[in-house]
Amino acid sequence: MAGSSRVTAFTGAGISTESGIPDFRSPSGVWTRYDPRDFTFDRYVDSAEVRASSWAMRREFFALAVEPNAAHRALARIEESGRGGAVVTQNIDGLHQAAGSTHVVEIHGTARTVMCIGHAPRRGAPAGCGFTAPYTWAFAQVDAGVADPPCPECGGLVKSATVSFGQLLFPGVVEEALALAAGSDRVVAVGSSLQVYPAADVPVAAVRHGARLAIVNDEPTPLDRIADVVVRGRAGDVLPAAVEAALTA
């Protein structure tokens, strides 16, 4: 990174597990208590029971009261230094913004916001009126006895502003991520299995446009073969030291 001026980070669940957020697929993960088959977009639309269960799951998520870790803060420091520092993330937790990053592209949306998706959206496409609110709005409604809070503006369904199974990605998000990749001279992929597409196209596109790729991950990934640097280790251990070395070189 020392010789780079347009650094983009690409992050996955591994950067946030160090903050105490369990991986959805780990032995202690969320899916040990909830059936993922119930959380498709169409099931959410069709079932008030699924919607109520979804709010319970989100409350469990936010009850963790997690904070950004050293890896999140290290990436924010790159942006602060003026070396680019945009973050493309598969995570929905908002920890990059909490750490100080201001240019964050959330491919799978954010759990910190809720949105109207309309009365009967189909084919995985939200069709709401534009209403959005902090996630605490939904929790307040549930606490007041409204198990399935409707949109206060049009009466439609309200959902966490995350991309569920079977839901289309939000318009323009992948395009923005790919544009960042194409304009980067260094991409640092952190805590991602690099197996979920189209998200994993981001580091591939960067390499295709001439960027150098560094991967920090506990396990091998399919893109190790095209990376210039591969580091096996925890993001919170590796990134702070790497960023310090790069910014003082």
b/e code 95-128 from CB counts within 10 Å (16+ = b): bbbbbebeebbbbbbbbbbbbbbbeebeebebeb
**Which two structure tokens, joined as six digits, stand for 172?**
């323009």
| 204 annotated among ligand-binding-site residues | no
| 129 annotated among ligand-binding-site residues | yes
> 103, 108, 119, 209: which one is catalytic?
108
Alpha helices in 18-151 (DSSP H): 41-46, 48-62, 70-81, 95-99, 135-143
| 116 annotated among ligand-binding-site residues | yes
The question of whether 96 is a catalytic residue gets the answer no
| 151 annotated among ligand-binding-site residues | yes
SS3 readout for 115-148: EEEECCCCCCCCCCCCCEEEHHHHHHHHHCCCCC
How far does Cα 138 stand from its chain's mean position?
20
Cβ proximity of 56 and 128 under 8 Å:
no
Identity at 166, one-letter amino acid code? G
Binding site members for Zn(2+): 116, 129, 151, 154
Binding site members: 116, 129, 151, 154
List active site positions: 108
